[in-house]
Amino acid sequence: MTLPAVWLLHINDIPSGSDDARALETLLSNDERTRRERYRSEEARYRFLLSRALMRRVLGSISGESPESLQFEIAESGKPQLLDVPELRFSLSHSGQWIALTVSCEADIGVDIEQPVRKRDFLGIANHYFHPDERSLLAASPPELLPVHFYRLWTMKEAFFKGRGTGISEGLSRINLAGFHLGQGIQFADDLPGAAEPWQFHYAMLPLPDASHLHLAVAGTDGGIGEISQERILRGLPD
């Protein structure tokens, strides 16, 4: 398996209540079962099951360990890591009925997906959270392209801060992606820790059967992120 790579799973890929779904429950630890029951809706509980099963099956396949035997701990960064194989770095994201996982080796990485399901005030959100250059870029976008440009910026920002392990509370405006959008590079706030590291980005807009799109972004310090191709965006659970 060439890393970094991305795995995508739709909740209907494995029907809820099926024999395959029940088999996935055996992969969860006692702690994960407890966490799953905290979700109020059946759909949220099922999405949690599929997320953990995807993570365990992928990481088990890469590490050569059985998925159910994997143990996790919280690293100093606050991100989860494998207890016995900490060099494998990974990130999960979900949106709507989709789940995404990305994995790297010995380099921080983050993933974000967005499945647009409702209208949003793109310019209002951007004016509140984005860098001034990004706000100008979106304000000048043709109306039909505004959603695409917004989700490209949003997912890349989310993936970046997930890769850092800090979350977007660190400040979405502290990374300026307007130049990346125009092919001119990325700018970071001068006081952003780790900004000098070799951050790489990948963005893709994946067509869905209903003629909409799933927006996918990966960010991290793995030099291979910029080389992610369609062949490294995999669908479904590995055996």
Query: What pLDDT is attached to residue 231?
Result: 93
pTM score, whole prediction: 0.95
Query: What pLDDT is attached to residue 209?
Result: 82
**Do 188 and 198 meet the contact criterion of CB atoms below 8 Å apart?**
no
Query: What pLDDT is attached to residue 39?
Result: 95
Q: Where are the alpha helices (DSSP H) in 111-190?
A: 122-129, 132-139, 146-164, 178-181
Query: What pLDDT is attached to residue 119?
Result: 86
* CA–CA separation, 227 and 48 (whole Å): 30
Query: What pLDDT is attached to residue 9?
Result: 97
Query: What pLDDT is attached to residue 34?
Result: 96
Cβ neighbour number for residue 143 with a 10 Å cutoff: 7
**Rg of the chain in Å (alpha carbons):** 18
Closest by CA position to 109, among listed 80, 147, 143: 80
Domain membership of residue 208 as a residue range: 5-235
CATH of the domain at 123: 3.90.470.20
Query: What pLDDT is attached to residue 81?
Result: 92
Closest by CA position to 166, among listed 195, 131, 125: 195
Please report how many Cα atoms fall inside a 13 Å half-sphere around the Cα of residue 208, on the Cβ side: 17
Q: What is the pLDDT along the chain (239 residues), one digit of tens a residue?
A: 799 999 999 999 999 999 999 999 999 999 999 999 999 999 999 999 999 999 999 999 999 999 999 999 988 878 899 999 999 999 999 999 999 999 999 899 999 999 998 889 999 999 999 999 999 999 999 999 999 999 999 999 999 999 998 888 889 999 999 998 777 889 999 989 888 899 999 999 999 887 789 999 999 999 999 999 999 999 999 98
- The tally of domains found in the chain comes to 1
Chain centroid, CA 128 distance in Å: 23
Q: What type of residue is 75?
A: A
